[in-house]
Chain A
């Protein structure tokens, strides 16, 4: 049974609380028990507790498959990009290097590229993916466009991304603030630390910003 077209995957980094329930749940998935296909990282922990979960975006024309010399990476008719076929994968790492989202991981023990297959064993039988089932803040959401529209009136889904001259459309959608205007930016430019040297979320809200130790009640 294919994954029903109206059931879609949405990532809403604004909601991520960094709890790693998705990462832990991913290791419980039947097709790759013990291995998580999700990356969850702090953006800049010194500044903020903001974290971002990275799952496979399931591109319409997957770069990982395009660069695979062994034709090991298949996209199903319902748009799910699969982990490399074990008999074909030559562990060359091309896909790992080429994916603009940084998703595929090389499992060197198994000489196999592994990646999120959107819990194909679950979604193809009408269940939600493990990560989106458990996500406490629903930063990872699996459902219909109508449901997400109703649940997230402040956001809208985006499925087109530009990396340099490459434009990618994906099956997985990223939620962005409804009123926001998307900007294309140079990837190299984004490598410069984005941290505003002066901004401090804590000091901004204090009565006395220079809060020396030893302060007792006034």
Chain B
């Protein structure tokens, strides 16, 4: 039973999160590094180039990598301090198993014994309850090679349909919307197109904090005359100097897009020729947005009418443009509709598939793009193939050397896996690179479901809040301890290079997974000797698919600073910009640039509905959640890096002075935010940069400080992304600091 073995405070005492600071070699000013390894940051989807400086088999410093074209040396504070995750006092150096009699709840055990126990429990659960009773949760911070292997491991070794990944919390709404409208899921343009745009439209993206390097692209466009429009319930740093700020009410983005399209049509700010030749479905969308007058749009979105009109005019009359969005519109129970609404105003403008005419989602996770293409998503096989499509199944089965019938069918999304735990259908779980007890909404439910598991095994390099529930923990590898590739937010496949070996019993994640396969007696297909071998099989498995990597090699990536997929053969240069006139793709086969048999893009009607849980008299505030610049996702790494903790030690509840006055709250007061799921007591920050009907809490912390105690588990019906960005809440002044303040450090 995956109950937490002892008090959290005792586990924290031994396993952290503790803060690491630079000491010894890392502070020594006279150190001459043994080598500089050109690789990439382990954090967000931009994957900035970086050099890690190694001395005595330890990463001791960073040096900007000026030649890498995307960031040209630029790094955010997370990139600068990422190296402090190595040689960390919390690092898991052995396998562990749950032991309530131990003071810290766990005892170290030999690696081989741990693997044997994992295999034996998987075998027992699957024999007793069926193959699907064992599920796999994977992560989009892993290299593409590992994500490919996880999908193969679940389907071919465990024969379970139940695998999904934490990209479910990140890019799936964008992916689903892009597939519906364009037939392909990838940023349509390289970031260099931002520089040539007349209008840059940013919806629901806190660019300066979540994708800091993109800031320079946006502002460089502005230096040369671009107008920047930012849509966000909060005035973020990128909004501070934008040309037009639209403070949308959380969860109302489709209404805005529909209102903009209404004005574009009314004023003939649309490209009729492009619409006629390259799209289908415009008439239905035009009829749908007809009732979206500017007055109605203003009432629903909460944005002043004159601002909506100005945005429509700038967008409508631009010669070139780039529209970007991120989780702000995607983390919604109608996230796919939000994305389709955004795409509709892009298609109506006709500005796509050309230089300076672009559209993209800003991918959040390190390998958010590559991690969603090659088979760890519950409904997908490598090459962005569909697990329900017989031809696709046959292709992948052939590469894997099995019969198509041996491949399981579609599984369910990661939240539904926990609902299956509740129903007793899933009894065992393997989790890698995923911290659901911090990152999933309504996380008290997740805690209860972890406790219900018969067997829970975690592969990770630190003991995450989720791993505290594990029966067995296997010590995995840090980003800098393995070779591989990832695919960036631009669709650029790049090389991750190994700087150092994993310490002690820790080892490359792909080796651990193969060791489990071997212990299960199902070694066939899991005898890769290197990530390069995995990549070569992945190339074959993706060949002919939409995400075609077959022409990409490690050497080619290194020669050209990355290769943009699709890249269908060795002589192909890759595809930085999609949808160019006259371009060929395997679906359209020359009929047009979009990935449908007729080569045309789809307008899709995007009906507006309010958030699943709207405000009412009892819970009158909208709660929205997000990130801060110094932390990343569930904080497993950044809440262990001293200088990043110092920058932002603990979450605060952000609210407007108008609301603070009503609630008699002053900056720095303690207050309790409450929803129908839970409560969370934090200090408040009173700022004029948030809507007065909205409160904001960053979500990087666990336990009593976790914003996801409050969030709702409502999901988009298509993408299954949870609605992190809008639920009903109330706020009241607390009597003083909560009990945890005296016991725990801010990051714990």
Contacts and interface: CB of A to CB of B under 8 A. Distances in A.
B659 A213 contact: yes
A138 interface: yes
Contacts of A30: 29
A214 B692 CA distance: 11
Contact of A216 (B209, B610, B629): B610
A27 B245 CA distance: 35
Contacts of A45: 685, 687
A211 B691 contact: yes
B215 A17 contact: yes
A70 interface: no
Contacts of B657: 46
B732 interface: no
Given A19-B76, A211-B693, A202 B81 contact: no
Contact of A46 (B28, B643, B688): B688
Interface string A200-218: 1111111110111111111
A136 B688 contact: no
Interface string B670-691: 0000000000000001111111
B237 interface: yes
A33 B22 contact: yes
A133 B66 contact: yes
Contacts of A31: 29
A163 B29 CA distance: 37
B302 A206 contact: yes
Interface string B260-281: 0000000000000000000000
Given A21-B212, A202-B690, A136 B75 contact: yes
A36 B307 CA distance: 42
A202 B691 contact: yes
A50 interface: yes
A47 interface: yes
B9 to A, nearest CB: 30
B664 interface: no
B558 interface: no
B343 interface: no
A213 B73 contact: no
Contacts of B28: 33
A200 B691 CA distance: 11
Interface string B580-621: 000000000000000000000000000000100011110011
B302 A211 contact: yes
A48 B644 CA distance: 22
Given A20-B647, A24-B81, A216 B299 contact: no
Interface stretch (B217-225, B344-352, B738-746): B217-225
The residue in B64, B247, B692 that gathers the most chain A C-beta atoms within 10 A of its C-beta is B692
Interface stretch (A61-69, A148-156, A186-194): A148-156
Contact of B667 (A33, A46, A201): A46
A137 B208 contact: yes
A33 B27 contact: yes
Interface in B154-212: 208-209, 212
The range of chain B's interface size is: 35 or more
A99 interface: no
Contacts of B615: 213-216
Contacts of B478: none
A140 B644 CA distance: 20
B80 A216 contact: no
Main secondary structure of the interface of A (DSSP, over half): loop
Contact of A200 (B80, B208, B237, B688): B688
A28 B692 contact: no
B414 interface: no
The residue in B27, B62, B240, B662 that gathers the most chain A C-beta atoms within 10 A of its C-beta is B240
Interface in A4-41: 14-15, 17-21, 23-25, 27-28, 30-34
A33 B643 CA distance: 13
A97 to B, nearest CB: 26
Contacts of A217: 299-300, 610, 614
A154 B227 CA distance: 13
Interface string B388-427: 0000000000000000000000000000000000000000
Given A33-B28, A202-B235, A206-B247, A20 B304 contact: no
Interface in B424-460: none
A133 B302 contact: no
A213 B621 contact: yes
A216 B620 CA distance: 9
Contact of B304 (A133, A153, A207): A207
Nearest to A26: B80
Contacts of B326: none
B569 interface: no
Contact of A21 (B76, B223, B235, B302): B76
B55 interface: no
Interface in B229-258: 235-238, 240-241, 245-247
A49 interface: yes
Contacts of A51: 237
A217 B296 CA distance: 10
A28 B62 contact: yes
B686 A46 contact: yes
Interface in A87-136: 128, 130, 133-136
Contact of A134 (B75, B219, B693): B75
B236 to A, nearest CB: 7
A153 B691 contact: no
B176 to A, nearest CB: 25
B208 A14 contact: no
Interface residues of A, number: 54
A175 to B, nearest CB: 11
A48 B246 contact: no
Contacts of A14: 241
B237 A17 contact: yes
Contacts of A138: 74, 216, 219
B339 interface: no
B224 A153 contact: yes
Contacts of B64: 128, 130, 133-134
A46 B223 contact: no
B235 A137 contact: no
B626 to A, nearest CB: 14
B74 A135 contact: yes
B73 A128 contact: yes
B79 interface: yes
B710 interface: no
A16 to B, nearest CB: 8
A102 to B, nearest CB: 21
Contact of A201 (B80, B245, B246, B630): B245
Given A46-B687, A136-B216, A202-B247, A211 B692 contact: yes
Contact of B80 (A24, A50, A213): A24
Interface of A: 14-15, 17-21, 23-25, 27-28, 30-34, 45-51, 128, 130, 133-138, 151-154, 200-208, 210-218
29 contacts: A14-B241, A18-B237, A19-B237, A20-B77, A21-B74, A27-B22, A27-B643, A30-B29, A33-B27, A46-B657, A46-B686, A50-B240, A128-B64, A134-B73, A136-B208, A137-B215, A137-B216, A137-B219, A138-B74, A138-B219, A154-B223, A202-B235, A203-B658, A205-B246, A207-B302, A208-B302, A211-B692, A211-B693, A214-B617
Given A21-B75, A136-B76, A213-B615, 20 more contacts: A19-B208, A19-B237, A23-B77, A33-B22, A48-B689, A133-B66, A133-B73, A134-B76, A135-B74, A136-B75, A201-B689, A205-B303, A205-B304, A206-B247, A206-B691, A210-B658, A212-B693, A214-B621, A214-B693, A215-B302
Nearest first, the 9 A-B pairs at minimum CB distance are: A214-B620, A213-B620, A136-B212, A218-B299, A17-B208, A17-B237, A133-B64, A134-B75, A137-B215
Interface of B: 22, 26-29, 61-62, 64, 66, 73-77, 79-81, 208-209, 212-213, 215-216, 219-220, 223-224, 235-238, 240-241, 245-247, 296, 298-305, 307, 610, 614-617, 620-621, 629-630, 643-644, 647, 656-659, 662, 667, 685-693
